[in-house]
Chains A and B, each alone.
Chain A
Amino acid sequence: MDTQFFVSLAMILATFALYIGIAVFNRAKGTSEFYVAGRGVPPLFNGMAIGADWMSAASFIGMAGTIMVLGYDGLAYIMGWTGGYLLLTFLLAPQLRKSGSYTVPEFIGDRFKSKTALIIAAICTMIISFTYSIGQLSGSGVVIGRLFEIDAKLGTMIGVILIAIYAAFGGMKGITWTQVAQYLVLIIAYLVPVIFMSLQITGNPLPWLSYGEIVSKLGDLDRELGLSEYFAPFEKGSKWQFLALMFTLMAGTAGLPHVIARFYTVSTMKAARWSGAWALLFIGLLYFSAPAYAAFSRFILMTQVAGSKIADLPAWTKTWVDTGLLKVADTSGNGILEWGELIIANDIVVMATPEIANLGIFVIGLVAAGAMAAALSTAGGLLIAISSAFAHDIYYRILKPTATDKQRLNVGRITIVVATLLAGIVALNPPGAITQIVAWAFALATGTFFPALVLGVWWKRSNSKGLISGLLVGLGVTLIYIFAAKYGGFTILGIIDTGAGVFGAIAAFATNIIVSLATKPPSQEIQDAVINLRYPEQMTYKDGEVYMEE
């Protein structure tokens, strides 16, 4: 165990102490604090928390690599994972906030006055969030495993125990404030390497302004090698797949329960609007940087690594070859490593970059702490979503409405611990690659919650039968298309499993509308409640009139 190990470990432990301290300081004292952070988080900090929640281990570690490998087609992830915030902030967040619900299933249960709808929505929430959390715990296991040179499985269990402690303690309030700290850690950890690389390669410390030239240079290099250019559009998939994927990611953003729940923590509809703006700004800092990371890394690999004698490769290549994420071959037998003989896994780009660019042991430790922050922050948000779906929606609203505050808090805490352990166990042997699992979670959200909520908020005629059939049809179509595309090679217009949400959403919207129109409209009371969501808190709509509190 060398100096690097101790430096990295020290930085990670320091950040852990910070998170636990914040969680203890913000111990949730009532259900309002446990589920919605007491409704008083200032929009700017809420925006930061959303940024940390959004930037998961998969994106922190994997996104730059994905863009490097996919070229232009990878940009569907950049636009898809940001553009959805407009759908969320314009169409859903302020209105759901005004409704006063604690959770998405609760909103659905009350809007459609149906216990069945509440239960289905709660189960969907748990499935989607649970799936997503498997990816996060798996990711944290990888970081800890690489750091300690122990099995990633052990790393996963360590991450699990840590999250269970501070999530159960602080609830949404503890999670939110811990996420603010985690955002600061991860943004610094992400930006420092890319700024240094920009200085090294272009002499300009602002990577966002300097990497355009590098993208063009990469195109030149590719052309010399007889490959298609790095930035050429639709090399890896059809135009329709790009559009379908982008839509699935955007609509999924607006349909993921743990993301929507982040807008319940502010005090008003106006605060929800501002929260969305701040969130995208903080998220944007990361997403502006990922393609720069990708371009610089690829440039370094193409110009400094490829073309070198295999016997003379720099020291860091050996450690990464040992992990299996980097493959070096000499199929041409000339003793020189050609670009085509170098095989790079997506994950290597962010994790190995500090070594590739010779940035020093503190930066390497910082990146490890940043990856952990990303994993923990997302996992925390997901576990609260699962806990609230069970402890609030199923236990309190359905099973035991007379439960006391204390009982509800206890059930909430126990659920978090149990859910974390279960997700950890599954994460020990994940059913697929992290990004793939995450993509499925998005597709499911696009096919189920997105149509249900948009119609629920904007179309007062949507009724419970329409909603339930819409949810089930959307779920079914999405799942069938994912399996058919992945295992049966069946595609429409070249759209693969990651773009399945498009078909689920279309089916769900159509079903919801047709069935609602074919059956009884909702009660006048409910229709009034929907109209009431149009106006800010001071105005209330009732029986055809609008009242303003003075």
Chain B
Amino acid sequence: MRTLTLEGSHQTLLPQQIFLEIENRGEPVKKIEKSRADAYFREKNTYMVIYFIIWAIVSYGVVLIAEPLSDIYFNGFPFHYFMGAQGALAVFIILLFVNAVVGDKIDKKYGIDHNKNESIGRGTTVDH
């Protein structure tokens, strides 16, 4: 397999390298509307921002108002302690799984085939 060498050393990252590998694989490539690709990116980012807002509230937010929260009790715990020890962590885990599932759904909506990604993914590290 040909590999692209720039200035005598191996490179990762660059799209030229990726295109060369696509050529090597002999797969057809089609151009898609930039606006569609932009929409993909925007959709992913919107979700990400929402996740970060929730993340910030359950951790930093709760710490900022810890004193008043300490008067409320939940399952035996003072509420600020519950959030610090269990609540925030549970939300973090849920957010990560939501991100994984929603991420897959968005990919599917834009016609991404994960099996294809997988063969590409394994290939792009061609021992370098």
Contacts from A to B (Cβ < 8 Å)? 30-32, 36, 39-40, 72, 75-76, 78-79, 82-83, 85-86, 89-90, 97-102, 106-107, 110-111, 208-209, 211-216, 219, 231-234, 239, 242-243, 246-247, 267-271, 273-274, 276-277, 280-281, 284, 287-288, 291, 397, 401, 405, 525, 528-529, 532, 534-542, 544-550
Contact = CB atoms under 8 A, between A and B. Distances in A.
B127 A31 contact: yes
Given A72-B80, A212-B82, A547-B31, 8 more contacts: A72-B66, A83-B55, A85-B92, A110-B11, A208-B86, A215-B77, A525-B15, A540-B15
B15 A534 contact: no
A270 B117 contact: yes
User: Which DSSP category, helix, strand, loop or mixed, fits chain B's interface?
Assistant: helix
A457 B125 CA distance: 19
Given A39-B121, A215-B76, A269-B117, A243 B63 contact: yes
Contacts of A247: 60
Interface string B106-128: 01000111101110111011011
A83 B86 CA distance: 12
Contacts of B31: 545-548
Given A90-B48, A535-B40, A242 B63 contact: yes
Contacts of B70: 231-233
Contacts of B100: 270, 273-274, 276-277
B73 A78 contact: no
Interface in B39-90: 40-41, 44, 48, 51-52, 55, 59-60, 63-64, 66-67, 70, 73-78, 80-82, 84-86, 88-90
Contacts of B80: 72, 231, 233
B95 to A, nearest CB: 6
A404 to B, nearest CB: 11
- Kindly list the 5 A-B residue pairs having the minimum CB-CB distance in the complex, ordered from nearest: A212-B76, A75-B84, A213-B76, A277-B96, A212-B77
Contacts of A550: 27-30
A196 to B, nearest CB: 20
Given A72-B80, A215-B81, A277-B97, A542 B52 contact: no
Contacts of B33: 546
B34 interface: yes
A431 B111 CA distance: 55
A540 B48 contact: no
B95 A86 contact: yes
Nearest to B88: A79
Given A85-B92, A539-B112, A30 B127 contact: yes
Contacts, number: 236
A281 B94 CA distance: 9
B84 A72 contact: yes
B35 to A, nearest CB: 10
Contacts of B78: 215-216, 219, 231
A243 to B, nearest CB: 6
A34 B127 CA distance: 10
B84 A532 contact: no
Contacts of A78: 84-85, 88-89
Nearest to B18: A540
Contact of B96 (A85, A214, A539): A85
B15 A532 contact: yes
Given A216-B76, A242-B63, A89 B96 contact: yes
B32 A40 contact: no
Contact of A548 (B32, B81, B122): B32
B28 A99 contact: no
Contacts of A276: 96, 99-100
A82 B51 CA distance: 15
A246 B55 contact: no
A177 B56 CA distance: 34
A75 B93 contact: no
B73 to A, nearest CB: 7
Contacts of A99: 12-13
A98 B125 CA distance: 10
A397 B99 CA distance: 35
B12 A100 contact: yes
A549 B27 contact: yes
27 contacts: A32-B125, A78-B89, A85-B96, A86-B51, A86-B92, A86-B96, A90-B99, A98-B124, A101-B12, A102-B12, A106-B12, A214-B76, A231-B78, A231-B81, A234-B66, A246-B60, A267-B118, A268-B117, A268-B120, A277-B96, A280-B93, A536-B112, A537-B120, A539-B32, A539-B112, A548-B30, A548-B32
A544 B121 CA distance: 23
Contacts of A212: 74-77, 82
A212 B66 CA distance: 17
A75 B64 contact: no
Contacts of A76: 84
Contacts of A89: 96, 99
A287 to B, nearest CB: 6
A537 B14 contact: no
A213 B81 CA distance: 12
A203 to B, nearest CB: 14
Contact of A538 (B8, B11, B112, B127): B112
Nearest to A71: B81
A110 B13 contact: yes
A216 B73 contact: yes
